[in-house]
Structure 1
Amino acid sequence: MKKKYLYSIFLLIMTHEASMAQQQITIETKRNVLVLSTDADHALVSSYFGKKIANKSEYPVIPTLDKYLPGSDDLYNKREAYVASGSVNLLEPALSVTHADGNKSTVLSFQSFKETLIDNNRKLTTIVLKDPKYNFEVRLQYLAYFEEDVVEQWSEISHQEKGTVVLNKFASANLSLSGKKFYLKNQYSTAMREMRSEEQQLLHGLRTLDSKLGTRTNLLHSSSFMLSIDGPSAEDTGNIIAGSLAWTGNFRLDFETFDDYYLRITAGINNFSSNYSLKAGENFVTPKFVYTYSSNGKGLASRNLQNWARKYQLMDGAGDRATLLNNWETTYFDFNDEKLNSLVQDTKNLGVDVFLLDDGWFGNKYPRNGSTAGLGDWQFNKQKLKNGITSIGKEATTNGVKFGIWLEPEMVNPKSELYEQHPDWIIRQPERKEYYMRNQLVLDLTNKKVQDFIFNVVDETFAQVPDLAFIKWDCNSLIYNANSPTLKNQDHFYIEYVRGLNSVLERIRKKYPKVPMMLCAGGGSRVDYAALKYFTEFWPSDNTNPFDRIFIQWEYSYYFPSIAVDNHVTDMGKQPIKFKTDVAMMGKLGYDVKVHELSESDLLFSQNAVKAYNGFKEIVWHGQQYRLQDPYQHDVASISYVNDSKDQAVVFNYFMATRTTTRQALPIILKGLDANKRYKLEEINLYPGSKSPIDSSKVYSGDFLMNIGFNPEVNDRRTSVVIKISSI
């Protein structure tokens, strides 16, 4: 009996020691948690990702409840937190390495972890993994944003082997998830048709979203996505992960289902044509993979990302924005001093902040009178501008408006002085025929001389216009025949190009930290959070038809805050100017119209619209966004913005029916208000001479508006309605 008792004590002690040897790490935010733990083999595995539970001590129980045990013929399905290839894993890896001795197997064993409290909202968790055979190390970094429920994850790879290690694949992150079914919502694009949405169940196999384009990397696929677990998610229901890779170059997102109950997400730089030779002591840092979890549908996931972006990532995300008048659709390449001075007057007359001079202001030997010549020669055109951009800048200042300018400094026309003088600055294969997109080639930003040139283009522009108030930074060509004339290892090309671009942008921001800059790439083909660290906003699409723009802007809203989205009123589309303006107000308003050709009523409406927008733009830019009725399934699309104190809101409503429906029949349920507050609703931004059917004297409780709703009375004659909600 005594021996049996002592044996029981021995087993209890051994079990306790074993459990102590296994490490548990929690990455926590306000509502969610990612639980990592070590197993008997010292591998770091993902135990749980989802909603937090009240008792932290119960997290270790979660893995024991997973009763799926692989049989002898099954793939090795350990849910490692960062999967390496060449050993027992046969699924898509995060890391694939050729070691200095030629061995292609890597095993990552847990070594240690450290938590660093950055401030009361951010905690960085660093986990060190090492290969027991090689002096090779991976540090997994998890930066948790508590209030925003967002995690940034990336990896840092280094070694001390006797020779060079080649990284064949080097993802930023793995996420291993369990569930019955998985549904992927992603966006695909072409020029003028950006962010078209599709949602599908992920069946067996590998689904990859990627880019190999070099620049304009979102031209075909977005590097952002939403993944629903156990079933399709709706706006306010369902378990969902929203993710976005912060990288301005080639990307790769892998979604691999395995063993019926699991999905592994792998996100990072695309390893296409990019075997990276890593020297001993060198630290390779991957881009950040940004993600959030929501147990309350897509709407909350969007707000998490938007709140995080405004506070931590978007350039001046908590600040102000300028409205502007662009000359592009008014003049195209055909302008002179007189025309531009007239447009400055139009800018003042319209009431917006900035006059933006677009493409065509430069080039002398090869004048920029079209898209075929002059790009790269950034001297003002003496035939068009007798006194240069300095004179236009002064004209704007004299009239109480600001001056902005268009640049495309990464590109060059073959018909240019730059092409003639510096052929070694251009990306191309010397043995191949040159291929042009929009009559352009791309400059080699892996070359520090090219980096200096591009920085000097911006610097010299400021020298001519010290009060320059806005830059539209365009990028219109993809990279064909990828080759750097000066880079020693062409496998590094795609990575070094982005590093070179970021280096230029860092220098610009160091010297000119506050100037607003628009990110543009033949429309919305370059939209990611790494670039938006340097840019205050982005151009979603060259398609400014307001009917199409509702869908485009709607899809961007899943990942990016409205303050970052530039929407212009233009001549594109046959809708009335009120509809165009109301659609453009769903973000950062701008104009690209012939102001002097507007009718008296349209001009008066536009002037009043700018004033009205100035009265509520802070709510749109910094408030919480709620998608109320989508444009796909409803005759009226509706979206609202509510300020943080919940005492003001703006609701945009757009008539979308294209066949027999003539009105919004039922009330629209509002969201985000205070149930205990009382509100008045007023229609604003009315066209001159029109009268609203909305009774602004009536008072409604927030509870009523969020359960019963309100009918904005949108119909085929009142095609757009803007409602301002104010508490009393």
Structure 2
Amino acid sequence: MADDNAVVDGSAVRVDAGGWGLTWAADDAGCLRQVGLGPEGATAQLGEIPLALFPDAYPTYGGGDALRPPALRITHADGSLTTRLVVEHVSRMVEPGGEHVTMRCRDERFHLHVEHHLRTHPASGVLEQWVEILHEEPGPVRLMSYDSMSPLLLASPDAEVVQFVGGGWADEWRWNEEGLSPGTKSLASFGGVQPHLQAAPMLLLSPSGPGSERSGDSLGCSIQWGGNTRFDLDVRPKGDLAAPSELRLRCGANPLGAEYLLDPGVRFVAPAVAWTWATTGRAEVTRRFHIWTRERVLRDPNRVRPVVANNWEATFFDFDEARILDLIDQSGELGAEVFLLDDGWFGTNHPRDDDTAGLGDWDVDRAKLPNGLAPLADAAAARGLRFGIWVEPEMVNPLSELYVDHPDWVVRDSREPAEHRNQLVLDPLIDEVREFEASVVDRALCDPGISYVKWDANRPITDPGSTQLGPDRQANLWVDQVHATWAVMDEVVRRHPEVELMLCASGGGRTDHATLRRFHEFWTSDNTDPVTRVRMQWACSHFFPAAAMAAHVTRWGGRPIHFGCAVALSGRFGLDLDLLALSSDEWAACRSAVALAKRTQRLVQQGRLVRLVSPMDRADRSRAALACIDPGSDETVLFAYQLEASNRPSPSLMLDWLDPDATYTVTETDLAVAGGAAVTQRSGRELIDGLDWQLTEPETARVWEITPVRG
């Protein structure tokens, strides 16, 4: 049901996002003003202050503030550089679980419209916000910048931001906590296909002071975009040094090199930003994002993700049928649920013996697998395993039959395309390429019994351009290739709705809420060193539930296997080991971990996360503890990790969500110790008062399963 107002006459437009929100209104000149934002933002009163004194809700170039970067900058068809918008129309549409508010603005001179879209999810407290642009000017207009939103906040002198810019591959989800200083700080990602290796498109902001887990104002933002993204934090202090500064937060697609030429009558849709404002700290931001991600993003959110065994770190490209069959045998013996055959299974004239050849030729390499994939899938099924396969549909090696036949299928400009990691990017703007990419998965799944696919992408875009775009709009590639790639992924989902899909891009290069809608999980990082992974998964957990975060036990970092198992158990658990080379103690630890995963993964993946001891603490980064709970039953699984040596006092793990009058069975597991777990009964009051921290040595862990005693 829609509620439309043809003209906005200064009355308030209120958006309640569930515990917080915003109020906008048009001033006497028709300019859209931000009247309220935050916990009481949806109830802000207009009062006697002239609306023209309130900040712009969405600044434009030439729209009034000449001293700050705008959210929107357009070169019009006649060459004019300024855009001045007035409010024309507002509509409200009731949707399942919320409403969709649309504010339609027009340029006061040109036939150009900018729509502000706001979709509420009151059950989770997450708001999605974006802009859409369309025009009927005499010719194309050029969008120079096109942020999805641009709210103005007040930031105290000790306000903090947490951002996740790292060093690239194997350094995703780096926790960077810092204060805000005057000027503009830009946090941008690049690369197009795998931009999030550098910077996750998420941000935590504490405008009222240092961030805290359970107290204080905390904002969480996620740009839903499978391409390059950008946060700009523009801080302008007042004359009084103790007074809050003005903070303009601009979020959206990164427009650098991506100026978009938009034809008349064509609608440009900017990425949606999902965001929330909590008054009780980062834990509430996490709770809201987890609810929203499960309800609105993840495929099959109620399906417990399987225990996956992968051959990659056991064999890399060097394997044959006998080697894989041995690993399948061992995976079945351990109790895994999926065996994933990684890179190296394909290529005929150019066999995939390393990363220099074969990519694009998706026929089984009969030298390695003379009987094809079917015997492997059959062997897996006989041992109680599903079978999965690795693909990289978007890429091609120049040393391949595909490239020989179709050298014109790659993303390129007027120069000869430059190789990166011995490969090139296929151009998804070409119709035949999109069909080919979708058919890669068809061909990989042609053998019955294959029901899991790892979708990888190991190269950024370095030569942006397309034969499908005119000379004046080559920069459109950065936007158009995202939508074209999503179209391929959507087609794969349509053709194979029951197949589980893992999203990977040189590790964690595609950890965004938009692309994830086509997948069941993502590969969090190629860095599987468990000490590093505790911190990565801690950071990632602020926006994604554990069901989305694939976490495998490997030998990366040379850590004890039992410790790696304990860390992987707090994500979607899996193994990527040479199972034939495990010692008897390591085998026992893995076997116990798989059994523990089958008991706890429902809670880990679908329960409510409680972070107890932070490995990002300014004073002590040596420890971490977290719990996953079923709020309906108090059933809990608790993980504690000693990462490094520490001379600081040990924390006490206070489980304050339990019932003090109940009795609980507590099963304590140390995977380094053979012979099972210690089982005791404890009162809820004892557990609320705190479990003692028993870990003293680096790279040790404990797992507690806590279950209420019934009757």
Identify whether the pair has TM-score above 0.5, normalized to the shorter chain: yes
The 1:229–1:717 alpha-carbon spacing in structure 2 relative to 1, beyond 3 Å, is closer
The 1:483–1:61 alpha-carbon spacing in structure 2 relative to 1, beyond 3 Å, is closer
State the SS of the aligned residue for 2:488.
Answer: helix
Is 2:387 the partner of 1:403? yes
Rounded to whole Å, the distance in 1 between the matches of 2:627 and 2:312 is 31
State the SS of the aligned residue for 1:174.
Answer: coil
- In structure 2, which of residues 627, 631, 640 is the aligned counterpart of residue 644 of structure 1? 631
The 1:105–1:336 alpha-carbon spacing in structure 2 relative to 1, beyond 3 Å, is same
Q: What code does the residue aligned with 1:487 have? A: L
CA deviation map 1:231-251 (0-9, x unaligned): 111111111110010101111
Residue number in structure 2 paired with 1:101: 78
Rounded to whole Å, the distance in 2 between the matches of 1:62 and 1:453 is 60
Confirm or deny: 8 A CA contact 1:626 1:672 kept in the other structure: no
CA deviation map 1:199-218 (0-9, x unaligned): 11221111111123122101
Segment of structure 1 superposing worse, 604-613 or 366-375: 604-613
Confirm or deny: 8 A CA contact 2:663 2:682 kept in the other structure: no
Rounded to whole Å, the distance in 1 between the matches of 2:671 and 2:189 is 44
Segment of structure 1 superposing worse, 291-300 or 81-90: 81-90
Confirm or deny: 8 A CA contact 2:628 2:638 kept in the other structure: yes
Confirm or deny: 8 A CA contact 2:12 2:46 kept in the other structure: no
Residue number in structure 1 paired with 2:468: 486
Residue number in structure 1 paired with 2:32: 44
State the SS of the aligned residue for 2:377.
Answer: helix
Please state how far the C-alpha of 1:671 moved relative to its aligned partner: 4.6
- In structure 2, which of residues 592, 603, 623 is the aligned counterpart of residue 608 of structure 1? 592
- Residue pairs, 1:435-584, within 5 angstroms: 435-463=418-446, 465-488=447-470, 489-584=473-568
The 1:133–1:676 alpha-carbon spacing in structure 2 relative to 1, beyond 3 Å, is farther
Confirm or deny: 8 A CA contact 2:18 2:126 kept in the other structure: no
Confirm or deny: 8 A CA contact 1:604 1:688 kept in the other structure: no
Q: Which consecutive residues of structure 1, in runs of 5 or more, have no partner in the other structure?
A: 1-19, 67-75
Residue number in structure 2 paired with 1:118: 95
Is 2:197 the partner of 1:215? no
Please state how far the C-alpha of 1:420 moved relative to its aligned partner: 1.3
State the SS of the aligned residue for 1:196.
Answer: coil
Rounded to whole Å, the distance in 1 between the matches of 2:388 and 2:674 is 35
Please state how far the C-alpha of 1:665 moved relative to its aligned partner: 3.1
Rounded to whole Å, the distance in 1 between the matches of 2:393 and 2:113 is 39
Rounded to whole Å, the distance in 2 between the matches of 1:400 and 1:147 is 39
Rounded to whole Å, the distance in 2 between the matches of 1:361 and 1:63 is 71
Residue number in structure 2 paired with 1:143: 119
Is 2:186 the partner of 1:186? no
Q: What code does the residue aligned with 2:708 have? A: S
Residue number in structure 1 paired with 2:217: 239
The 1:233–1:671 alpha-carbon spacing in structure 2 relative to 1, beyond 3 Å, is farther
Residue number in structure 2 paired with 1:248: 226
Residue number in structure 2 paired with 1:13: none
Residue number in structure 2 paired with 1:714: 695
Confirm or deny: 8 A CA contact 1:712 1:721 kept in the other structure: no
Please state how far the C-alpha of 1:405 moved relative to its aligned partner: 0.5
State the SS of the aligned residue for 2:150.
Answer: strand
Confirm or deny: 8 A CA contact 1:447 1:500 kept in the other structure: no
The 1:636–1:690 alpha-carbon spacing in structure 2 relative to 1, beyond 3 Å, is farther
Confirm or deny: 8 A CA contact 2:634 2:657 kept in the other structure: no
Confirm or deny: 8 A CA contact 1:45 1:81 kept in the other structure: yes
Please state how far the C-alpha of 1:603 moved relative to its aligned partner: 2.1
Rounded to whole Å, the distance in 1 between the matches of 2:491 and 2:212 is 43
Confirm or deny: 8 A CA contact 1:311 1:318 kept in the other structure: no
The 1:690–1:635 alpha-carbon spacing in structure 2 relative to 1, beyond 3 Å, is farther
Confirm or deny: 8 A CA contact 2:465 2:475 kept in the other structure: no
Q: What code does the residue aligned with 2:178 have? A: Q
Is 2:47 the partner of 1:59? no
Please state how far the C-alpha of 1:691 moved relative to its aligned partner: 7.6
Confirm or deny: 8 A CA contact 1:124 1:141 kept in the other structure: yes
Confirm or deny: 8 A CA contact 1:38 1:45 kept in the other structure: yes
Confirm or deny: 8 A CA contact 1:646 1:674 kept in the other structure: no
Confirm or deny: 8 A CA contact 2:651 2:693 kept in the other structure: no
Residue number in structure 2 paired with 1:3: none
State the SS of the aligned residue for 2:302.
Answer: coil
Please state how far the C-alpha of 1:695 moved relative to its aligned partner: 6.7
Residue number in structure 2 paired with 1:682: 667
- Cα RMSD, aligned residues only: 2.2
Residue number in structure 2 paired with 1:81: 57
CA deviation map 1:539-577 (0-9, x unaligned): 111111111111111111111111100010112233322
Confirm or deny: 8 A CA contact 1:113 1:127 kept in the other structure: yes
Q: What code does the residue aligned with 1:108 have? A: L
Segment of structure 1 superposing worse, 652-661 or 305-314: 652-661
Confirm or deny: 8 A CA contact 2:298 2:517 kept in the other structure: yes
State the SS of the aligned residue for 1:366.
Answer: coil
- Residue pairs, 1:406-421, within 5 angstroms: 406-421=390-405
State the SS of the aligned residue for 2:612.
Answer: strand
The 1:77–1:480 alpha-carbon spacing in structure 2 relative to 1, beyond 3 Å, is farther
Q: What code does the residue aligned with 2:359 have? A: L
- In structure 1, which of residues 629, 654, 662 is the aligned counterpart of residue 641 of structure 2? 654
CA deviation map 1:143-197 (0-9, x unaligned): 1100111001111111122222222211211111123233211012222222111
Is 2:602 the partner of 1:618? yes
State the TM-score, normalizing by the size of structure 1. Answer: 0.90
CA deviation map 1:383-427 (0-9, x unaligned): 001011122222222332111001111111121111211110112
Confirm or deny: 8 A CA contact 2:93 2:100 kept in the other structure: yes
State the SS of the aligned residue for 1:173.
Answer: coil
Confirm or deny: 8 A CA contact 1:628 1:671 kept in the other structure: no
Rounded to whole Å, the distance in 2 between the matches of 1:128 and 1:293 is 25
Task: Give percent identity, aligned residues only.
Answer: 31
Please state how far the C-alpha of 1:508 moved relative to its aligned partner: 0.6
The 1:718–1:285 alpha-carbon spacing in structure 2 relative to 1, beyond 3 Å, is closer
CA deviation map 1:599-656 (0-9, x unaligned): 3333233223212211121111111111111113254210111113142111100012
CA deviation map 1:31-75 (0-9, x unaligned): 11212222222222122222148xx7x621579599xxxxxxxxx
Rounded to whole Å, the distance in 2 between the matches of 1:348 and 1:607 is 11
Residue number in structure 1 paired with 2:206: 228
Residue number in structure 2 paired with 1:16: none
State the SS of the aligned residue for 1:547.
Answer: helix
Q: What code does the residue aligned with 1:45 have? A: R
Rounded to whole Å, the distance in 2 between the matches of 1:669 and 1:216 is 40
Rounded to whole Å, the distance in 2 between the matches of 1:227 and 1:94 is 19
Rounded to whole Å, the distance in 2 between the matches of 1:288 and 1:676 is 46
CA deviation map 1:292-336 (0-9, x unaligned): 111111111111111110111122223221111101111111111
Please state how far the C-alpha of 1:676 moved relative to its aligned partner: 5.8
State the TM-score, normalizing by the size of structure 2. Answer: 0.93
The 1:718–1:383 alpha-carbon spacing in structure 2 relative to 1, beyond 3 Å, is closer
State the SS of the aligned residue for 2:552.
Answer: strand
CA deviation map 1:451-491 (0-9, x unaligned): 1110111112222x233211111111111122223322302
Confirm or deny: 8 A CA contact 1:48 1:62 kept in the other structure: no
- In structure 1, which of residues 23, 30, 36 is the aligned counterpart of residue 18 of structure 2? 30
Rounded to whole Å, the distance in 2 between the matches of 1:658 and 1:616 is 28
The 1:376–1:695 alpha-carbon spacing in structure 2 relative to 1, beyond 3 Å, is closer
Segment of structure 1 superposing worse, 80-89 or 241-250: 80-89
Confirm or deny: 8 A CA contact 1:350 1:595 kept in the other structure: no
Residue number in structure 1 paired with 2:334: 350
